[in-house]
Amino acid sequence: MFVETITSSRELWETMTGRTRLISEPPESLVVSVAWDDGEGRVTVLNVWETPDAIADFYVERTRPIIEELGEPPDKPKRHGEPLAVYIRPS
């Protein structure tokens, strides 16, 4: 697994999430995505991917075309790497 977080304005989060289809058509390599509003009009997202290559593929296939159209976003994802420990409650 590979973890990243992104914090941005709610408007940018809605635009990018909708246009990349992150939630509506999630890539198979996305393990989990959780987003929350921090109460200041900003949204933080935690994404867990199967591999670092999965993030790169998602960027090339879905994100880069939007950035080329709209320009570089003010906030960049933070790549945290492999987790040291993971707990997932059994269902």
Tens digit of pLDDT for each residue in 23-79? Answer: 999 999 999 999 999 888 999 999 999 999 999 999 999 999 999 999 999 999 999
Query: Cβ distance 31 to 49 under 8 Å?
Result: yes
Q: How confident is the model at residue 5 (pLDDT cuts 50, 70, 90)?
A: very high
| The pLDDT of residue 16 | 96
Q: Which among 84, 77, 86 has a CA at the least distance from the CA of 31? A: 86
Q: Give me 89's structure tokens.
A: 């409650």
* 43 strand-pairing partners: 8, 37
Here the tokens at position 90 are 């059994």
Write down the pTM of the prediction: 0.90
